[in-house]
Amino acid sequence: MNRSIRYILLLLIAVKASNAAETAQEPRDILRDRANAAILNAAIGDALGRITEFVDTTKKICAQLGDSGVTSLAQATIYHHGKTIAPYTDDTVMARIVLDIALQGRTAHASIQTMTNNLAHAFARLFGPERYSIDPLFELRAHGLRNTGSAEALNALIAQKKDLQNDWWLSRKGINPAAEGGCGSVMRAWPIGLVFTGDDQLIIDFAAAQSAITHAHPLAMAASAAMALGTAYAYQGKSVDEIMQAMIRAAEQFDAQELRYKTDARKRPADAQLTAAMIARNQLLTSDMIRYAYQAAQEGKLPEEVLGTDNIQQPNYRSPNGFLLGWAADEAVAGAVYLLARNRDNVRQAIVEGVNSPGDSDSLASLAGALVGAHTGNVYPDDALDRLENIDALKLYADQIVNNTLPTTIRRKLLINQHDDRRAMIKRSTVGQRRIR
């Protein structure tokens, strides 16, 4: 081969390799955008929803905040330490803790039990004597009673040095799964799907385990698992239908445990027509509540029909109209599903509809923001975006998530002996009175 031909061949090989490198880089850029959008949109929805969370009718929201309600971070700002910021709530504070520990765990090849142990200690510290050094805006966050009470019990165990035992967090004083069905664990579960994407069972198991630290009701575990896996599928670029089916499958792993508490519920056939009246009567499992929300979006039902117009609750904590108010974990994940399925590629509309609902608006908007952001890679358009609390720190996470991704073969090693651990944990956490909240 003469020198000229050889040079041309080498040049062609180099060009081909360069093109291949560019092609390989493009998916990484897409994943970075999706991760960034999920994180920022979750925080934006949370910050905007802080303003409407305790305004209990859509009529009052419009009267107090205008016909469009809350749509910009400019409406959600405070003056703090010489800066104008739009602060988020406990949802994002706790989601960031989960994200940090999940990233550390992935790097260290840690087991689910180790990561859950680290989370339990982190939650205890957040509510402990160091709370104001950890979070100077602690009083503004509106932390839920369940997370607060569980963290106090965790701190008591730590003081007694009982945190050296396996699964010590399941021995917290006052644990009562029947009363631990609120949305305080699902609101923080979605980062698990970004960090461990590609390993469905690890995502499900870890999401359920982190829920049990503070919320041991099977519906809270089911909702957390569904939310984490749905975020993973959205991040992977799956269709909305594929995301929905994955979320249903994740929640179905907890159907049997839920039936111990939801005594009026039963598993519905996949083609069953599900209604709001079934929600009002507490007759749907979390997996079917997700299916109901997807059906409602496909049928074109409006937010006032699904998310509601008022915050009235019955003694069973359900809306008499079957609205997805979001205070319960199953309602929160179902509400987020509805907003994703209804708006799909419209990040702004999905978040605005969640924000201006009469229930747990910050959680609904935050969860919807995570799902739609991971699905589209688009960040909520807002001229006041730079006011979002800790926005620069939030933007750093995307690179950490995308870079040094743990190979699936290594991730699967984390599951060794973890399935039995999860079953034991669920068995221990399903002892209590048969009553929902």
Over residues 220-249, the pLDDT tens digits come to 999 999 999 999 999 999 999 999 999 999
Q: What are phi and psi of 224, to 5 degrees?
A: -65, -45
pLDDT band of residue 1 (cuts 50, 70, 90) is low
Residue 204 CA, distance from chain mean position = 12
* Distance (Å) of CA 430 to CA 104, 288, 421: 30, 20, 14
Q: Tokens 């503070």, residue?
A: 214
Q: Are 371 and 243 in contact (CB under 8 A)?
A: yes
The 10s digit of each residue's pLDDT in 69-113 is: 999 999 999 998 889 999 999 999 999 999 999 999 999 999 999
Q: Is the pLDDT confidence value at 363 over 70?
A: yes
Amino acid at 292: Y
Q: Is 259 exposed, middle or buried (0-12, 13-18, 19+ CB in 10 A)?
A: middle
**pLDDT score of 403:** 87
Percent of the chain with pLDDT over 70: 86
DSSP E strands: which ranges in 357-415?
Answer: none
**pLDDT score of 81:** 85
The 10s digit of each residue's pLDDT in 374-423 is: 999 999 999 999 999 999 999 999 999 998 554 443 334 333 333 444 44
The 10s digit of each residue's pLDDT in 248-292 is: 999 999 999 999 999 999 999 999 999 999 999 999 999 999 999
Q: Is 191 exposed, middle or buried (0-12, 13-18, 19+ CB in 10 A)?
A: buried
- The strand pairing partners of 78, in sequence order, are 85
**pLDDT score of 435:** 27
Q: Are 377 and 32 in contact (CB under 8 A)?
A: no
Q: pTM to 2 decimals?
A: 0.88
Choose among 327, 334, 339: nearest CA to 363.
327
**C-alpha span between 5 and 219 (Å, rounded):** 68
Token pair recorded at residue 214: 């503070």
Q: Tokens 């994703």, residue?
A: 340
Q: Is the pLDDT confidence value at 432 over 60?
A: no
Angle between helices 58-65 and 3-52 (to 10 degrees): 100
DSSP secondary structure, 279-321, as one string: HHTT---HHHHHHHHHHHHHTT--HHHHT-SB----TTSS-TT
**pLDDT score of 276:** 98
**How many Cα atoms occupy the beta-carbon half-sphere of 246 within 13 Å?**
28
Choose among 118, 103, 121: nearest CA to 396.
103
The 10s digit of each residue's pLDDT in 3-21 is: 666 655 555 555 454 444 4
Q: Is the pLDDT confidence value at 431 over 50?
A: no
**C-alpha span between 264 and 66 (Å, rounded):** 41
Q: Are 41 and 379 in contact (CB under 8 A)?
A: yes
**pLDDT score of 8:** 58
Q: Are 250 and 291 in contact (CB under 8 A)?
A: no
Three-state DSSP at 80 gives strand
What average pLDDT does the segment 344-350 reach?
A: 97
Choose among 120, 205, 222: nearest CA to 164.
120
- The listed CATH number (3.40.50.2000, 3.20.20.80, 3.40.50.11900, 1.10.4080.10) that belongs to domain 35-429: 1.10.4080.10
